[in-house]
Amino acid sequence: MNITLIEIKQDVPGFDSFFGSWVCQGDLNVVIDVGPANTAGRLIDSLVSLGLDRLDLVLLTHIHIDHAGGLADLLDHYPMAKVMCHEKAIQYLVDPSTLWAGSLKVLGKIAEIYGPPKPVPKERLIPHTENDLKDFLVVETPGHAIHHLSFSFDNWLFAGEASGIYLSINGDEYMRPSTPPRFFFDVLLEKDPNLVAFGQMDPDTRKRERFFMANSVKGFIGYFKEGEGALDRRTG
């Protein structure tokens, strides 16, 4: 199977080498995550340039609008394609109004740039519990999103945002959490060696990273404001 990473350029300064889709071409043609609604056309163009005339399956790590927003347009272009996602995420793809309202609240202007996700026909969606693929192992990896999945194939692991964000800046590794419940106190103190490369980023990339770090802190604060109810939901 041929595995390629497609970069999906965005119209936000600093967001160019930030979003991508994995494409696995073989007996089965598979795309993992699709990026936002507003750049679905760019993803389709890239897939067409790769010679992908048939798409069998989309695997969604999670349904945040920056990972799944372009799904409806992609499915329109490839009418045979099905989608595997977490069983509890299906309702939010069929009727994305709740997802969109939540995205506007959390991401504000950036959500507007990503664009609202369009409804996806229910018959195109396969719950992850019904996985019968012989090549891909589906693993539940809640944390960044309650309904986060990771997919393992051969010695590859497509982990979405399950373990944070990893970048390589001028040879230095940069890692940050992408939303709680995990919270790194040393990030707050700016002594985390994983964040050293922050100083070498160009101003637009740094601005983007600052926004998402602040968002992680907001998520952490929100978790405590929700109190015991939230804890029960996550452990129950």
Interaction site with Zn ion (CB under 5 A):
64, 161
Q: How far is the CB of 65 from Zn ion (least distance, A)?
A: 9
CA distances (Å), origin 221, targets 12, 14, 108, 116, 179: 27, 27, 18, 26, 11
Shortest separation between residue 100's beta carbon and Zn ion, angstroms: 15
For the bound state, the minimum distance from the C-beta of residue 67 to Zn ion, rounded and expressed in Å, comes to: 6
Decide: helix, strand or coil at residue 5.
strand
Give which of 81, 22, 26 is closest to 57, Cα–Cα. 81
Q: Which is nearer to Zn ion, 36 or 52 (CB)?
A: 36
Q: How far is the CB of 220 from Zn ion (least distance, A)?
A: 15
- Which DSSP string corresponds to 160-200? TTTT-EEEEETTEEEEE-SSSSS--HHHHTT--GGGGGGGG
User: Shortest Cβ distance from residue 61 to Zn ion (Å)?
Assistant: 8
Q: Which is nearer to Zn ion, 14 or 102 (CB)?
A: 102
Q: Which is nearer to Zn ion, 165 or 196 (CB)?
A: 165
Give 50 or 143: the residue with its C-beta nearer to Zn ion. Answer: 143
Buried b or exposed e, range 86-124, using 16+ CB within 10 angstroms:
beebbebbeebeebbeebeebbeebbeebbbbbebeeeb
- Between 25 and 178, CB nearer to Zn ion: 178
